[in-house]
């Protein structure tokens, strides 16, 4: 019995000891979402240059990460937060959790990505949520690939599309916003009525849609159209063994909604100087070039060389759909509620 007690005391002591390591001098903590990734040697390069170590703290999906940062406003979880995107930007700004910093590296980033004039957030990467199609399916059926969002309501494409519930999935939400951007505040409802009449399938998350329902995914799916990403075609090639000569999937460019991801310095950090250095580093050529194969999104910096698999297999829309961040912030919940009534009830 006494030994058991001792063991427990030891565990608690260990826990307390382990808890201390976050307050070390030259370590800064980067709070991120789970999809963040970076090469080890790139991070080491930052440490070599600045003497500052970076501790990563993944905190769930993008929404969960931001909400945790908001909840811990008085005693921040870390020094820098990565992964706030334009669909959640207004919440991050309204909650006053970030301090402004205008990085000199922004000179190399196109204006269109710089959404906060006060620079509380700095753009790092962008990607497009788009409908992907299974090339083989449409070739075999002798069916033309749908080109516009309107096409999807055509009976020829009845029952072919799977999308995600915007209440539980980030690409699902982005696709709903794509339709709001395309048809306007009063038009998107009719569009979804028509999609529903044309037998659209809704699942809870990207994984179920892509790996479960999509014909070119990994399961026994029977839907040749799926709401996914413009980077899915190169990813499908990159993660095949052996890699095929052509990507099995294509991107329906007219359906794309742009997501931009930002980094910001958390208010209350004791290491603002180091945090600024990290923001600069995340816009550097070295870090930006590392982004595509780690996160399957595109670097915002101009002139960054893309990996071959992206150059060859990624289709990027010239003029993707988008919505102003404050309009998203005001309407996000009501759009989701309305959508649920139209599509699921």
Nearer to other proteins, 29 or 259 (CB): 29
Cβ at position 19, least distance to other proteins in Å: 4
Which two structure tokens, joined as six digits, stand for 72? 């811990």
> Site residues for other proteins, window 214-233 (CB under 8 A)?
217-222, 228, 232
- Count Cα atoms within 13 angstroms, Cβ side, for 177: 31
C-alpha 176/C-alpha 257 separation (Å) is: 9
Write the interaction track for other proteins spanning residues 189-218; mark x where CB under 8 A is met and - where it is not. -------------xxxxxxx-xxxx---xx
| Contact flag: residue 8 with other proteins (CB under 8 A) | yes
CA–CA distance, 25 with 53 (Å, rounded to integer): 9
- CA distance linking residue 66 with residue 289, whole number of Å: 25
Structure tokens at 337: 């509620």
- Measured from the CB of residue 132, what is the shortest distance to other proteins in angstroms? 9
284-343 residues in contact with other proteins (CB under 8 A) are 294, 296, 333
Toward other proteins, which CB reaches closer, 153 or 228? 228
Closest CB to other proteins among residues 109, 200: 200
HSE of 44, CA atoms in CB hemisphere, 13 A: 3
Which C-beta is closer to other proteins: that of 41 or that of 273? Answer: 41
- 106 versus 232: smaller Cβ distance to other proteins: 232
Using rule CB under 8 A, residue 39 touches other proteins? yes
Residue numbers 84-113 binding other proteins by CB under 8 A: 91
Distance CA 103, CA 300 (A): 14
β-partners of residue 258 are 128
Nearer to other proteins, 56 or 151 (CB): 56
Total number of residues binding other proteins (CB under 8 A)?
A: 73
Q: Which residues contact 86 (CB under 8 A, 6 or more apart)?
A: 115, 258, 259, 260, 322, 325, 328
The least CB distance from residue 47 to other proteins, in Å, is: 12
Stretch that binds other proteins, among 58-66, 136-144, 185-193, 310-318 (CB under 8 A): 58-66
Cα separation, 166 vs 34, in Å, equals 19
Phi and psi angles of residue 231, each rounded to the nearest 5 degrees, phi first: -90, 0
Site for other proteins in 112-131 (CB under 8 A): none
Instruction: Write out the two tokens for 91.
Output: 């919440």
Q: Does 60 bind other proteins (CB under 8 A)?
A: yes
- Site for other proteins, residues 231 to 270, rule: CB under 8 A: 232, 235-236, 238-241
């Amino acid at each position: 019995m006494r030994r058991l007690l001792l063991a427990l005391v030891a565990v608690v002591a260990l826990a307390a000891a382990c808890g201390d390591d976050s307050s070390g001098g030259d370590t800064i903590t980067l709070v991120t979402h789970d999809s963040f990734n970076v090469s080890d040697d790139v991070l080491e390069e930052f440490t070599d240059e600045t003497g500052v170590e970076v501790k990563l703290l993944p905190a769930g999906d993008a929404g969960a990460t931001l909400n945790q940062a908001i909840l811990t406003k008085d005693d921040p979880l870390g020094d820098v937060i990565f992964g706030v995107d334009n669909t959640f930007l207004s919440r991050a700004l309204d909650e006053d959790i970030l301090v402004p910093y205008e990085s000199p590296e922004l000179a190399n980033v196109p204006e269109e990505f710089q959404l906060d004039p006060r620079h509380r957030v700095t753009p790092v990467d962008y990607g497009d949520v788009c409908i992907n199609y299974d090339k083989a399916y449409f070739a075999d059926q002798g069916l033309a690939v749908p080109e516009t969002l309107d096409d999807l309501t055509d009976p020829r494409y009845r029952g072919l599309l799977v999308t995600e519930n915007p209440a539980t999935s980030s690409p699902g939400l982005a696709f709903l916003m794509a339709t709001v951007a395309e048809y306007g505040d009063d038009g998107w409802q009719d569009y979804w009525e028509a999609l529903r009449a044309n037998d659209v399938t809704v699942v809870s998350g990207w994984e179920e849609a892509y790996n479960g329902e999509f014909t070119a995914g990994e399961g026994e799916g029977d839907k040749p159209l799926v709401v996914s990403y413009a980077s899915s075609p190169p990813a499908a090639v990159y993660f095949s063994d052996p890699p095929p000569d052509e990507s099995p999937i294509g991107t329906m460019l007219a359906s794309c909604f742009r997501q931009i991801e930002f980094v910001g310095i958390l208010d209350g950090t004791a290491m603002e100087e180091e945090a600024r250095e990290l923001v600069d580093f995340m816009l550097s050529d070295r870090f930006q070039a590392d982004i595509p194969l780690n996160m399957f999104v595109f670097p915002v910096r101009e002139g960054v060389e893309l990996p071959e698999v992206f150059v060859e297999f990624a289709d990027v829309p010239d003029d993707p759909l988008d919505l102003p961040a404050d309009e998203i912030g005001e309407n996000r919940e009501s759009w989701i509620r309305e959508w649920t009534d139209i599509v699921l009830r």
